[in-house]
Amino acid sequence: MAHKITQIPLLSDSVSAGFPSPADDYTEENIDLNEHLISNPYSTFFLRVKGDSMINSGIKDNDLIIVDKSLAAKPGNIVIAMVDGEFTIKRLSTKNNELYLKAENNNYPDFNFKNYADIQIWGVVIYSIHNCL
């Protein structure tokens, strides 16, 4: 099934995060978010987040995340991993020269690679999209 590409107007003025500024009444161009958010379309996928283990990194329950499988995961990256057959989203970290998956919520445990039979990194999270309402 072919996907219809929808271009959304991009206002020619930026929005101030400090003091208000006058807005222009017309648009400069249309943009396709795929062009701005996805560098590697054949290795990129979307996932819906379930839970709040990454809340302190700004990733909330029900967020839509964009994951790129072509990127090499490095410590500090937020990744999608499979831990003993189950998917999870965590920050790839190191402690005492050992890799582990760190939750960004103190109510959840970290996963040390040596304590699990099978941990596979599936991709690096490149964007998180959530509703501001």
pLDDT at 10 (0 to 100): 52
Residue 18 lies inside a defined structural domain of this protein: no
Residue 29 lies inside a defined structural domain of this protein: no
Stated pTM of the model: 0.77
CATH code (residue 117)? 2.10.109.10
pLDDT at 1 (0 to 100): 47
C-alpha to C-alpha distance for 45 and 38, rounded to whole angstroms: 9
Active-site residue, 50 included: no
CA atoms within 13 A on the CB side of 92: 20
Residue 7 lies inside a defined structural domain of this protein: no
- Name the active-site residue from 90, 93, 102, 128: 90
Owning domain of residue 96: 40-129
Total number of domains constituting the chain = 1
- Name the active-site residue from 53, 57, 93, 95: 53
Residue 22 lies inside a defined structural domain of this protein: no
Residue 78 lies inside a defined structural domain of this protein: yes
Residue 33 lies inside a defined structural domain of this protein: no
CB neighbours of 101 closer than 8 A, spacing ≥ 6? Answer: 79, 81, 83, 88, 90, 91, 92, 93, 110, 111, 113, 119
Active-site residue, 74 included: no
Across the 133 residues of the chain, what is the mean pLDDT of every consecutive 10-residue run? 55 54 58 80 91 96 93 97 90 92 94 86 94 83
Residue 102 lies inside a defined structural domain of this protein: yes
Residue 83 lies inside a defined structural domain of this protein: yes
